[in-house]
């Protein structure tokens, strides 16, 4: 459901720089991250809009670039992965600290005790999911909160049925700001579409550049000033915008 106080985004414009979150925005959530479905019509629309915007369309996601390229193949769009830790064209992300590798094993042990819970190993970050088993939330939260004490430089990022441990300072707003300083995004009106708490940094970045922030769903509070009801509505919006 779209928040009634947030109007739909304005008509699509060829002078936009479009930044899109993935899970909960382009894709419906699934019990596990690898079970999401990518709509072929949406893929075609992204391809059309990427060309129409002269390349100024990017994915900005908590997923890794490798995951994004697998999901959206054969497209290989501009992208920032792992909440901005990875950028297309940069070298590989830094190796995770030893305590994070230790945490993986402990988290997997907890997940085995709660079938449906998922430990998503992204290399430099780890996400603990309990969408598939809400009863796992207390154990997952306790493990993550205890781990922060021995992971200097890391912070906890809450999401929808997930907690992620990731390096401080990496966020989607910083990723967007970096891209807005570079071609083909520079000089355009930035638009960020996202659903989760992690997307608020992206909203703040585009609003600071005179852009448009679009919240997917009815989450409160948010600094977004426009809204769409669901990933299905986002996909329809993109497909319609891609029509000749």
Catalogue the active-site residues.
21
Q: Which phi and psi angles does 119 have, rounded to 5°? A: -105, 115
d(CA 244, CA 45): 11
Give the largest Cα separation in the chain, rounded: 54
Decide the pairing of beta strands 162-167 and 86-87. unpaired
Instruction: Identify the three-state secondary structure at position 70.
Output: helix
Buried b (16+ CB within 10 A) or exposed e, 93-131: beebbeebeebeeebeebbeebeebbbbbbbbbbbbbbb
Residue 188: name the closest of 84, 60, 53, 49 by CA: 53
In angstroms, how far is CA 92 from the centroid of its own chain?
Answer: 19
Taking the CA atoms of residue 168, residue 169, residue 173 and residue 178 in that order, the dihedral angle to the nearest 10 degrees is: -140
H-helix or E-strand spanning residue 42: helix 40-52
């Amino acid at each position: 459901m779209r928040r009634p106080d947030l109007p739909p985004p304005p008509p699509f414009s060829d002078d936009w720089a479009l930044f899109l979150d993935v899970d909960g925005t382009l894709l419906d959530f699934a019990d596990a991250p690898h079970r999401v479905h990518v709509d072929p019509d949406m893929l075609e629309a992204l391809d059309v809009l990427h060309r129409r915007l002269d390349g100024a369309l990017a994915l900005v996601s908590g997923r890794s670039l490798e995951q994004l390229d697998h999901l959206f193949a054969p497209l290989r769009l501009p992208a920032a992965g792992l909440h901005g830790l990875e950028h297309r064209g940069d070298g590989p992300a830094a190796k995770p600290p030893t305590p994070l590798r230790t945490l993986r094993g402990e988290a997997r042990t907890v997940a085995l005790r709660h079938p449906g819970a998922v430990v998503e190993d992204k290399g430099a970050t780890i996400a603990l999911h309990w969408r598939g088993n809400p009863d796992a939330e207390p154990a997952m939260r306790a493990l993550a909160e205890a781990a922060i004490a021995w992971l200097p430089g890391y912070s906890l990022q809450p999401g929808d049925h997930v907690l992620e441990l990731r390096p401080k300072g990496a966020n989607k707003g910083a990723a967007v700001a970096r891209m807005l300083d570079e071609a083909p995004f520079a000089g355009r009106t930035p638009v960020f579409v996202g659903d989760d708490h992690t997307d608020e940094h992206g909203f703040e970045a585009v609003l600071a550049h005179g852009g448009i922030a679009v919240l997917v769903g009815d989450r409160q509070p948010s600094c977004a000033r426009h809204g769409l009801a669901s990933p299905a509505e986002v996909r329809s919006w993109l497909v319609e915008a891609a029509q000749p």
